Structure 1
Amino acid sequence: MAAVSRKPSVVLGICSFTHDSAAALLIDGELVGFVEEERLSQHKHTRDYPRQAIAWLMDDAGITPADIDAVAYNFQPMRYLAETPAALRMALSGTTRRRALPRAAGFSKVAVRTRRRLKLLAQHFPGARVIPVLHHRAHQLAAFTASGWEEAAVLVVDSLGERQTTTIAHAHHSTRPRVRMLEELMDPASLGYVYGAVTEHLGWRRGDEEGTVMALAALGNPGRFRHTFSRAVHTTATGFTVDPAYFPPRVLTSGYPRTSPRLTVETCPPRHPDEPVQEIHQDLAAALQERTEQIMLHLARRARVLSGSRRLCVGGGVATNCVSIGRIIEAGIFDEVFVPPAPGDAGTAIGAAVAVHTDSGSPRPLSGIARACYLGPAFPEPVLDLTPWPNLQQKLLGAEAAEFLADQLAQGMIVGLFQGRVEAGPRALGNRSILASPLEAGVVERLNATVKFREPFRPFAPMVTAARAGEFFTLGQAAPYMSMASQVTDTAREQIPAIVHANGTARLQTVTPAQNPFVHAVLEAFARRTGVPVLINTSLNVKGKPICGTPEMALDCLANSGLDALLIEGRWISK
């Protein structure tokens, strides 16, 4: 008798309707693809339903909506309702009284809105079960499964997931990943909320430009406002609290300031985005960053004690604060620290799908997630129509592409690199990158002013061959996703000062031949020419635009920026 073919299990994970929309696809437990919608729609941090991301995933896998068994969504609506009694208790305090009713109403509205979103997803996939997943669980599973470890502590720190803002868990993997919650903090104790509020106060976009504030912090004196932040964000035995006198409790509707008049009196007035950055702004950023690092270290120590683990996975939006991650590593609390390539909300599309697959009891093990970052669309043989860009010219390179690129970089060119599948997460990791020589005089100033069009104090990150990373950086562990800031060696200060930020650190990416063969070959070819296996690596985009996900986006970036050339799948495009 002929064997009956078994229909594969298909789970679609979705992050949508809030920010950083993304989609992930698991087929029989294998992660076959993940992409952020912004990489295709050109709308940075989009909250829109990830229509193009989902269409690409299904087309690439050769399936239709009817083939999808379950849709995993990264929020649970009913969890918001539990905030109502807690919010109403705020009416008992004069500091928070005015926020009590609006806060209770806001959380209730979001619960209703989230239920509506689940119904909308059900309309898109009428044959599938739509399953809401606790937001922090999605973060935890995304971080842990990406690590490839059998066991680890998991620390998630973000702005808000339903009510949770900070969770510590212990994860282990036998037949499937299991995560046991050890401790949680609820809003309004939110480090992500505080960082976003001060980012906004300093004149940058909350939810987008916290990295700018982190860079600015290196120029300031944290002592000026140290006591203010010690009072505003107070450590406790089990975590921290946020003083509402400085940061009033959030209300999930617009029109409610996130900072108080007291913070303004004790620090500085809000800065308009067009105003010049002054010393007081640098000092405020420095105090915020210092307190963030202190809290993150405190939480990491707590995770070590509660879990007993020697390894730590970190997820959530605050995990993108690479200086804090570097501090945790330097402190030696854990033997190794891991941050997934997409630690923010976009990555919860993967975590939600993993949760649903795990809970289904499927015997199929997870695969394709551990240490994977190149998960999005590829354009291996693009037909490049340069008609919209008449000033661009192209020529085809052969097997010598890596040597040719290294040559051009050694001669001082700034080149965009577009190859393979789109990276997951906020950092370009060699497939959608802008590369430059760190030995070139004035390269940082040129990159900021004419290529990226961003603030002059912003640093640029290095990529280095993993085998020689120790010559230039003291981190002492792999950093494949550019998520950790490291102190630098004297050799780095002498030979490549362009990649050293004002605080003496660099956010490095270590590269192995297995991880990215082409980029590793370029680094080695560059080292043969210069003696230095290090290149500047920044994302292929300009300020305010997402990383280029398509050839057209990359060509537009070349044509409208100070890039000298673009290497796109073996084609050399120059002006």
Structure 2
Amino acid sequence: MDHIPSVILGLCSYTHDSAAALLVDGDLVGFVEEERLSEDKHTKAYPRHAVAWLLKEAGLTASDVDAVAYNFEPARYLVESPVALRLALSATTRERALPRAHGFAKVALRTQHRVRTLGRLFPSARVTPVLHHRAHQMAAFAASGWAESAVLVVDSLGERQTTTIGHGHTALRPRTHIVEALHDPASLGYVYGAVTEHLGWRRGDEEGTVMALAALGDPKRFRHLFARAVRTTPTGFFVDPAYFPPRTLSSGYARTSRRFIAETCPARHPEEPVGDVQQDLAAALQERTEQVMLHLARRARMITGSRRLCVGGGVATNCVSIGRIIEAGIFDEVFVPPAPGDAGTALGAAVALHMDGGNRRPVSGIARACYLGPSFADEALDLTPWPGLQQKMLGIETAEFLADQLAHGMIVGLFQGRVEAGPRALGNRSILASPLQPGVVGRLNATVKYREPFRPFAPMVLAERAREFFTLGQEAPYMSMASGVTDTARERVPAIIHANGTSRLQTVTAAQNPFMHAVLTAFARRTGVPVLINTSLNVKGKPICGTPAMALDCLADSGLDALMLESRWITK
């Protein structure tokens, strides 16, 4: 590059999960997903609300941006077009050859157009496309704060790559480089999304529902099918097109084959009941996903020699797979960033461009940070649009007050501090409940979250007491790892244990979230249990509440008992 940029805007835009991050002189100003401000879940729109907040926070305008880092490289798609024509050589894939070649070429041109559009929005900036998996890798490695680690990225598709193993290090300057890569159609994320859709849930949104359903099924019925459909190889895995035809990047092409349907079950309509066959199919899919992720983790350990692993990409949100990798003891420690999916590539692209621009020092403000979005602590609150709500100001002992309400069985929304990064509520935009209350899981699913009755709820626990209840053996600050549980957990807090005997826990330290640490401490003092149920402040189908108005809507339209909004206690 011609000069070292001092103001870098990282963007994920026009695909899904739009987000923005801003670096000024190597310092992270912030990061936020557009859906938290626009109320449009998984939005692909240009993240205008997120960008406006970041520039205002830094006291800058669009003309002050030196460089824009975009999370896809258009030219990389073009490489796939001639390769796709080889599919014509096989009878199984012949009909997909031309549509696939055309689809990848079309997306390359569309992505190039998006890059030019961004250039017009920031007249003083140079827009630089960043390889998608490199953005994932940088987001994961930079957030870890480690000096060195293996980096495994597994998603549906980034240009042509679906799985990469990289090596991150801070020698000379923080960076990652890709050691090994798998290309589409070998895509674990594609397979999981295809089966999610087949089972009647939204691909790209409700894979977590399928992961939860898997605990109720028996994988034995479809185990051999998935062993054939997703076969491991010495360097990764292979997806059999007889079961999952190659993607075309065009609508109208099925993601599962007639053979897959014949050997499993017909596609389920979202309104149809869930039966044993759907549970068993989900169980076999999840089992195979865990096996392949373990295989890839071992491969990463072997070819990098590292004793630590960072995991990124959409499949990294499969917390049960992450828990299996930890339990296998392949690495001394495993790290998943708070935003491992595509939204986080806005941050990773900005970090990559910062390093490529000649900066030798690491980005500050990203390592082990998750509360990176807007705060509304000083804003006045007008409840006129919500006539059924009333508020009172709380004193200084807000943590004690909240712990007392939870101990008495209230289900409370919590809105405090800066918005979390990523798909998990980490104590700033949460719904909290006591795990000791009878029927609390059923009540949360039926009257608060409005979601399937088999969905579990995650616990948050004081980090210093986690070993009393959970067997994970390492910190889990971002609710991204499923852990086994101890006998104490089974006896005292069975409500937080899923049907597969695990919990997706969040460990809380006083340094990470002082307020939630104080609430857990106060709750433990009252009940003897340093554990609370923590789920995101939203209802099914809506994004996590990023603004006070969204939180008030959630209170008014759900079965929440109350909302603590900063120092205000709001009830119906």
Shorter-chain TM-score tier: over 0.9
CA distance in 1, matches of 2:388, 2:23: 43
Report the counterpart of residue 415 of structure 2 in structure 1.
418
Q: How does 1:266-277 map to 2 (within 5 A)?
A: 266-277=263-274
Match of 2:8 among 4, 8, 11: 11
CA distance in 2, matches of 1:500, 1:363: 45
Report the counterpart of residue 282 of structure 1 in structure 2.
279
Report the counterpart of residue 486 of structure 1 in structure 2.
483
CA distance in 1, matches of 2:173, 2:346: 18
CA deviations on 1:102-152 (whole Å, 9 max, x unpaired) are: 000000000000000000000100110000000000000000000000000
Q: Letter of the aligned partner of 1:456 in structure 2?
A: P
The alpha carbon displacement at 1:174 in A equals 2.9
Q: How does 1:528-547 map to 2 (within 5 A)?
A: 528-547=525-544
Report the counterpart of residue 308 of structure 2 in structure 1.
311
1:523 is the counterpart of 2:520: yes
Match of 2:197 among 189, 197, 200: 200
1:387 is the counterpart of 2:395: no
CA distance in 1, matches of 2:339, 2:41: 15
1:230 is the counterpart of 2:221: no
1:560 is the counterpart of 2:541: no
**Does the Cα contact within 8 Å between 1:418 and 1:569 map onto a contact in 2?**
yes
**Does the Cα contact within 8 Å between 2:222 and 2:281 map onto a contact in 1?**
yes
1:173 is the counterpart of 2:170: yes
Question: 1:369–1:438: structure 2 CA closer, same or farther, 3 Å change rule?
Answer: same
Q: Letter of the aligned partner of 2:57 in structure 1?
A: D
1:46 is the counterpart of 2:43: yes
Which stretches in structure 2 are left out of the alignment for 5+ residues? none
Q: How does 1:50-89 map to 2 (within 5 A)?
A: 50-89=47-86
TM-score by length of 2: 0.99
1:134 is the counterpart of 2:131: yes
The range that moved more, 214-223 or 26-35, is: 26-35
Q: Letter of the aligned partner of 2:204 in structure 1?
A: G
1:467 is the counterpart of 2:467: no
CA deviations on 1:545-568 (whole Å, 9 max, x unpaired) are: 000000000000000000000001
Report the counterpart of residue 3 of structure 1 in structure 2.
none
1:249 is the counterpart of 2:252: no
CA distance in 2, matches of 1:362, 1:503: 47
The alpha carbon displacement at 1:363 in A equals 4.2
TM superposition outliers: structure 1 runs of 4+ over 2 Å: 362-365
The range that moved more, 363-372 or 219-228, is: 363-372
The alpha carbon displacement at 1:389 in A equals 1.1
Report the counterpart of residue 427 of structure 2 in structure 1.
430
Q: Letter of the aligned partner of 1:89 in structure 2?
A: R
CA distance in 2, matches of 1:507, 1:365: 31
Report the secondary structure of 2:217's partner residue: coil
CA distance in 1, matches of 2:172, 2:560: 48
Structural RMSD (CA): 1.0
Report the secondary structure of 2:277's partner residue: helix
1:291 is the counterpart of 2:288: yes
Which stretches in structure 1 are left out of the alignment for 5+ residues? 1-5
**Does the Cα contact within 8 Å between 2:243 and 2:259 map onto a contact in 1?**
yes
1:239 is the counterpart of 2:236: yes
The alpha carbon displacement at 1:7 in A equals 10
Report the secondary structure of 1:394's partner residue: strand
1:355 is the counterpart of 2:372: no
Q: Letter of the aligned partner of 1:492 in structure 2?
A: A
CA distance in 2, matches of 1:367, 1:92: 51
The range that moved more, 375-384 or 422-431, is: 375-384
Match of 2:23 among 26, 30, 41: 26
Q: Letter of the aligned partner of 1:317 in structure 2?
A: G
Q: How does 1:336-415 map to 2 (within 5 A)?
A: 336-415=333-412
CA distance in 1, matches of 2:386, 2:481: 38
The alpha carbon displacement at 1:370 in A equals 0.2
CA distance in 1, matches of 2:5, 2:312: 30
Report the secondary structure of 1:130's partner residue: strand
The alpha carbon displacement at 1:189 in A equals 0.1
TM-score by length of 1: 0.98
CA distance in 1, matches of 2:393, 2:487: 41
The alpha carbon displacement at 1:436 in A equals 0.1
Report the secondary structure of 2:430's partner residue: strand
Report the counterpart of residue 453 of structure 1 in structure 2.
450
Q: Letter of the aligned partner of 2:43 in structure 1?
A: T
The alpha carbon displacement at 1:8 in A equals 7.6
The alpha carbon displacement at 1:85 in A equals 1.8
The alpha carbon displacement at 1:181 in A equals 1.6
**Does the Cα contact within 8 Å between 1:464 and 1:535 map onto a contact in 2?**
yes
The alpha carbon displacement at 1:175 in A equals 4.1
Q: Number of aligned pairs?
A: 570
**Does the Cα contact within 8 Å between 1:28 and 1:364 map onto a contact in 2?**
no
CA distance in 1, matches of 2:346, 2:548: 25
**Does the Cα contact within 8 Å between 2:5 and 2:357 map onto a contact in 1?**
no
CA deviations on 1:54-102 (whole Å, 9 max, x unpaired) are: 0000001100011100000000000001101210000000000000000
| Percent of matched pairs sharing the same residue | 79
The alpha carbon displacement at 1:180 in A equals 2.3
